[in-house]
Structure 1
Amino acid sequence: MELTTAQALAMLALGLGSFITGMIPAFVSESARQRHPLFISCLLCFGGGVLLSTSVVHMLPEAREKLPEYSELMLCVGFFLVFLVDEIVHIFYGAHDHNQIVGNRLSQHIHRGYGTVEATSLLNDPRIVDGEMRERCCGDAGNPRMCHVSHTPPCNQSSSGVIGLLCALFVHSVLEGLAIGLQESPSQVLLLLAAVVSHKFVVGFCLGAEICASSSRSLCMHIVCVLIFSGGSVGGIAIGAGLESVTVVKETLAVPIMQALAAGTLLYVTVSEILPRERARWHERQRSAGIAQFIAVVLGFGLMYLTTKLLDHDVV
């Protein structure tokens, strides 16, 4: 097999496979999501574990190889960068959207027999969670039991979380594709392809599941996001195959810096968006659900960790 043939095969396998796995969650019907909400939540927690492992165990060590002194700093910069963007988006869009959604949900209480004054007072009632009246729980005022989990899901009305996740995974996909395209023999290309495929398809499925869970989900947005994600590896392979000087690329600091920034972005999305949201949604509805979510996170983290260690490969 010629080198160009192996590179073309890698582009087809990564591009098409990533697109298919990323689109699978879009074909899960809304009725199925309503029938099995805890399973869907555990699936998203599983994806959170995969992304957490991808950030800390997979991407950060690769960045540290060529940027040993500042890789952790760049990870934190990526974390704070998405944090800042998220807050800026929230300033302009978050408050209005949140009040509108709460108002729409509370209007249901008016139709159920509440008067206008009573419904208005519910706006500041701490027992209102997702527009529904809840009993006092641990951590509420007047309840002595302590609780370390918010009962209200974090604001998720903007798509900044999904955009941050997509950008991080796109950068990582380009770098992995670049590593494949820079290989100098067909056997090296196929070996590295197998290593990348082993986790890329899992990450693609997790991205698709997170897009489905976002408040602004639509089939068109889902297709565009998955196309961008799957196209990252294809473009990276094409760029790597077209480069004449491999040494210059391998010695540049731009690659580990981008890798570390992307790792920080994934870390923020996982610990500030996905996991807090899913824990809050189920903390009062079914308290034992937290154990199932924890197991799902550990399974996702463990799967990604084992995949990284068993099929370790060097990125540019």
Structure 2
Amino acid sequence: LRHEDEDIHEGVDGIIVAKATAMVILFLASLLFGLIPFKLAKWCNWIDQDTGRKSKTGKTIGALLCFGGGVLLATTFLHLLPEVGDNIGHLEEQGLLPTFPFHAAEFLMCLGFFLMCLIEEIIHMYLRRSQRRCTPAVATETAFERASRRSFRNGSISTADLVSSNDSIPQKHQMTGLDSVHAQIPAGHTHLHGHTHLPQGSTESEDIIVSSLRGLLVVLALSVHELFEGLAVGLESSASNVWYMFGAVAAHKLVLAFCVGVELVVTHTRTYLAAIYVVTFAAVSPIGIGIGIGVSAAGDAASSSVPAAILQGLATGTLLYVIFFEILSKDRSGFIRYLATLIGFALMFGLQFLTGHDHSHTDDNGAHGHSHSRSARATT
């Protein structure tokens, strides 16, 4: 018994170490990928690129995002959803959950999907009110504002908007940043493009605050998805599953961090604001992992497994929302992006096939594989 207890404690310690390591790596890597565009902008002279070259850059980033979407697609349906089903079936057999007359895993996934929709709508309501209060001081708008405006029409804040926002508007018509344009205005008034008068005094300060807040809110809206992705990592029950999920989340997170960094460069966002945006975006996934660790470690293993299984099901639904509303949206047409999505899916499928990845649970009653949760609910 003593040896068994020692093995259990070593296993738990190994899982915590894996999750803590994933937190640190994901934060530092996201921070690095978010800051890389600032160096590349100097080396490659992005700011003075013509529209064609910028369009090519946007297409490349879009293809990489679709690759991450394919990775998440395989992870959601081939890894997370079966694992949630197995966990719920395992809890039903132990008597910790009642036997549901429906597929509980799929139901939790749908709940998570609608939860993310609700969060998006709340954010949109706040953004719309902020936009109505903001006096339009200039005729042009930032990439973040274009993404926000497009999201109002489409019903979601999509990374497709962040990728394509600079492809559709020539450089000479882009605003010089979320608020840097105001820093270049001397006392009195200044003409932008020969015909726009900017107000002075308190109105100018309010415009700076509202514009900066709007950009931060768009980044936070994208970060909500990353929080739940981190939660999915933090709720895993084995070190191998942690690293599998870490790879899937990182494939999407790092490309998206690079995309956010590119937008901050193109819009000439002030340095301290860019730092806030990048650090905020980099930190949310590790925070989600930390929340998952706390939920998994709370109380005894049996009681904590119930909220962990429920949260994991909800996190699966939020990933579903990210895949189909943020990544694989109607704006992402084209064979290259389709091929990138297919390659991402095939990569994770091949990895799972070659490593013999499964979601078994072992306890006093023996091993529980994929089949038990389906059969348990099928008999209801």
Structure 2 length-normalised TM: 0.53
Aligned partner of 2:140 in structure 1 is: 104
CA distance in 1, matches of 2:345, 2:313: 19
CA distance in 2, matches of 1:12, 1:66: 23
Check 1:74–1:164 CA distance in 2 against 1; reply closer, same or farther (3 A cut).
same
1:301 and 2:345 aligned: yes
Aligned partner of 2:76 in structure 1 is: 55
The Cα shift of 1:291 comes to 0.7
Given candidates 192, 197, 207, the residue that maps to 2:243 is: 197
The Cα shift of 1:43 comes to 0.6
1:220 and 2:262 aligned: no
- CA RMSD in angstroms comes to 3.8
CA distance in 2, matches of 1:308, 1:94: 43
Question: What secondary structure does 2:329 align onto?
Answer: helix
The Cα shift of 1:51 comes to 1.9
**Which letter does structure 2 place at the counterpart of 1:264?**
G
- C-alpha contact 2:233 2:242 (8 A) present in aligned 1: no
Task: For structure 2, list consecutive stretches of 5 or more residues without a partner in the other structure.
Answer: 1-6, 47-53, 90-102, 143-166, 171-214, 265-272, 362-380
The Cα shift of 1:315 comes to 7.8
Structure 1 stretch displaced more, 54-63 or 8-17: 8-17
Structure of greater relative contact order (alpha carbons < 8 Å, 6+ residues apart): 1
**Which letter does structure 1 place at the counterpart of 2:312?**
Q
Aligned partner of 2:34 in structure 1 is: 26
- C-alpha contact 1:21 1:202 (8 A) present in aligned 2: no
- C-alpha contact 1:74 1:261 (8 A) present in aligned 2: yes
Aligned partner of 1:78 in structure 2 is: 112
1:272 and 2:328 aligned: no
CA distance in 2, matches of 1:101, 1:76: 42
**Which letter does structure 2 place at the counterpart of 1:25?**
F
The Cα shift of 1:12 comes to 5.0
**Which letter does structure 2 place at the counterpart of 1:66?**
N
Structure 1 length-normalised TM: 0.63
Q: Within 5 A, what are the aligned runs for 1:200-211?
A: 200-211=246-257
Q: Within 5 A, what are the aligned runs for 1:1-316?
A: 3=10, 6=14, 9-11=17-19, 13-29=21-37, 31=41, 34=54, 36-67=57-88, 69-94=103-128, 97=131, 103-104=139-140, 130-131=168-169, 158-159=218-219, 161-176=221-236, 179-180=237-238, 193-214=239-260, 218-233=274-289, 236=292, 245-250=300-305, 252=306, 254-276=307-329, 279=332, 290-309=334-353, 310-314=355-359
CA distance in 2, matches of 1:85, 1:5: 34
Check 1:219–1:243 CA distance in 2 against 1; reply closer, same or farther (3 A cut).
same
Aligned length: 245
